[in-house]
Amino acid sequence: MARLFAEFFGTFWLVLGGCGSAVLAAGFPEVGIGLMGVSLAFGLTVLTMAYAVGHVSGGHFNPAVSVGLWAAGRFPAAQLLPYIASQVLGGLVAGGVLYLIASGQPGFDVTGGFASNGYGEHSPGGYSLVAAAICEIVMTAFFLIVILGATDRRAPAGFAPIAIGLCLTLIHLISIPVTNTSVNPARSTGVALYVGDWAVDQLWLFWLTPIIGAVLGALAYRLIGGPAPRD
């Protein structure tokens, strides 16, 4: 249960910190943090919670990461569903807290997107379904390669959260214009269900493609890194 609570709170912080920065601070008049600030916020959520509770649960905070670690032989299949359930629940609760905060501002309208992921007319840059799918697969694959490499027993100890947090920051800097950046089905679900409508209709892509990317990244690292698993 301690592991599941750690995954719940870690994912809660990721969604509240990352999506919260996008909803509450990104476009704030004159002092908005912009794309770079939102990207950094997502990276900082993972970095801080990886140090805070990563030693308890492994610090996945992402169903795609859990699946990728399983594909790499570093995570037991029996724990996949409990971890994913905890992550999604953490994301949903964070989305609810963010909704309560954001709705305290006059004129707030959740249909504006609420940091949801999308493609086509709901992509920030108008990118197509195919472009969005490729982007999410590639970004998640490299995210897993960095995670597996940084946590390999041969890597310098103690620095993994920094590498992983900076990798997530870089991923957002690249892909926010394409999909608003998912690479995490729990993050996508945590806000999409409050928007409903198109956000829920497009949610399937942000479950399917990160998981495909995570498995591909795990397989790639097994070719690169060889048999040096670390739990």
Question: How many CB atoms sit inside 10 A of residue 195's CB?
Answer: 21
Span 200-208, mean pLDDT? 97
- Segment 96-131, tens digit of pLDDT: 999 999 999 888 888 877 999 999 999 999 999 999
In the numeric block, the tokens 């905060």 are attached to 101
pLDDT attached to residue 189: 97
Q: Where are the alpha helices (DSSP H) in the chain?
A: 2-20, 34-57, 63-71, 80-102, 129-150, 160-179, 185-195, 197-201, 205-225
Residue 91 has pLDDT above 60, yes or no: yes
Helix (H, G, I), strand (E, B), or coil: what is residue 222? helix
Span 85-99, mean pLDDT? 97
Which of 1.10.3720.10, 2.40.50.100, 3.20.20.100, 1.20.1080.10 is the CATH number of 1-225? 1.20.1080.10
pLDDT band at 208 (very low <50, low <70, confident <90, very high): very high
- pLDDT > 70 fraction of the chain, expressed in percent and rounded: 96
Residue 78 has pLDDT above 50, yes or no: yes
Mean pLDDT, the chain, rounded, equals 93
pLDDT attached to residue 231: 46
Q: Taking the domains of the chain in order of start, what are their residue ranges?
A: 1-225
- Segment 30-60, tens digit of pLDDT: 667 889 999 999 999 999 999 999 999 999 9
pLDDT band at 29 (very low <50, low <70, confident <90, very high): low
Question: What distance in Å separates the CA atoms of residue 159 and residue 128, rounded to the nearest whole number?
Answer: 37
Question: What distance in Å separates the CA atoms of residue 23 and residue 8, rounded to the nearest whole number?
Answer: 21
Among 65, 85, 67, 89, residue whose Cα is nearest residue 76: 67
φ/ψ (deg, to 5) at 227: -80, 80
